[in-house]
Amino acid sequence: MANLQPPIIDSHIHLFTAEHLPYLAWTSPTNPLHSEHSISEYLASIPETQRDSFKGFVFIETDRVHTEPSQAAIASNDEKALKTSWEWTIEEFNFVYKLSEQNELVRGIVPWAPMNLGVQALERFWSLLELEGESNKRRKEMLKGFRYLVQDKPKGTILKKEFVDSMEWVWRKGLAVEIGVDVRSGGIWQLEEAVLAIESIVKKDVPDNVGSFVINHLCKPPLNTSPADIPSSEIFKGWSGLLTRVASAHPSITMKLSGIFSELPHNSESYLSTHSKESVILDLVSPWVNEVFNIFGSYRVLWGSDWPVCKLGFAEIYADIDAGSAEGAWETWRRLTGVLMKRAGIMEKQSEMVWGGNTVRAYNLSVDRVD
């Protein structure tokens, strides 16, 4: 008899309604994701066969539009100016928080924060999220960390003192620092800078109750590399070496097993044009996933769907399959992840941690809200 799916807590999803589309910095009417992606649509993407196993998700910010307030506004705590600059990022937190009041499957929220502007700006933003005081206790409990994407920013962004100080401030508060870099499109330098920044923080004397660093999507490695060439490729060796360094720097540093469909080659002349595409997908991805487990172990890897972004690569890769009869992106990635973990030699108890236990720990989720 086949083993049942362990409890799942999705560590990485995005949500936005049609009303939010004008306030997303990355989209336009021609973008395939330029439509409503609400909690009801997300839950509908999970098949009935997995509903009993599914225990919730962590919301990750969706890159809302914002402007940078002046240093004078930050220094003087000009609340009106700050609210104007950060209006839609604050609204996003409030939107997801309201969802959490209606649906217990919302386990945690990781909003955007102005980490590039330094600790004082971060403290102003914290205040505007209304997290302090007894009446706001639950709001504070739902906040699990912050993310400011650096994958599309200039060199040196994450190494600036303001950014490093902000990451340390968040980490010392016991919250997650969400790290998004892109080795394939941006270059290995992005990971190099992230590692240097994290090392500069964790090498200091720190208390035991710090938060976590959560690195997104395996750092988006180049999954178009031929499987036979991966072990000897310079990019693989550089990627592996940097992850080995950062993983050994502190036990609170974790990695998300997510974002794969977006990084796979999608064009018709790629490996994935063959009838055995799932076998090819597994061969392309396995070396990178195996290495992540070798480096971080099974107790510091978190499963995430990256919904709805996962639908983009999935739609292209599986374009020749009848959409009416095929399982969706969420379920396909869940199923392939099970195969990848078996290939990596992850045992059943270890896999339980990857599916949900590690997410509970990395984001300090309340256990009684997960059981």
Residue-by-residue DSSP string for 80-145: HHHHHHTHHHHHHHHHHHHHHHH-TTEEEEE-B--GGG-HHHHHHHHHHTT--SGGGHHHHHHB-E
**Domain coordinates in residue numbering, the chain:** 8-369
| CATH code, 8-369 | 3.20.20.140
pLDDT digits (tens, 9 = 90+) for 133-154: 999 999 999 999 999 999 999 9
Predicted confidence band of residue 368 (pLDDT cuts 50, 70, 90):
low
Is the pLDDT assigned to residue 320 strictly greater than 70?
A: no
The CA distance from 104 to 369, in Å, is 7
Predicted confidence band of residue 266 (pLDDT cuts 50, 70, 90):
low
- Say what percent of the chain tops pLDDT 90: 84
| Residues 6 or more apart in contact with residue 217 via CB below 8 angstroms | 180, 256, 258, 259, 260, 262, 263, 306
Residue-by-residue DSSP string for 17-79: -GGGGGGBTT--TTSTT-S-B-HHHHHHTS-GGGTTTEEEEEEE---B---PPPHHHHHHT-H
Predicted confidence band of residue 205 (pLDDT cuts 50, 70, 90):
confident
pLDDT digits (tens, 9 = 90+) for 210-249: 999 999 999 999 998 889 999 999 999 999 999 999 999 9
The CA distance from 238 to 349, in Å, is 31
The residue among 264 and 211 whose pLDDT is bigger is 211
How does strand 54-60 pair with strand 8-13?
A: parallel
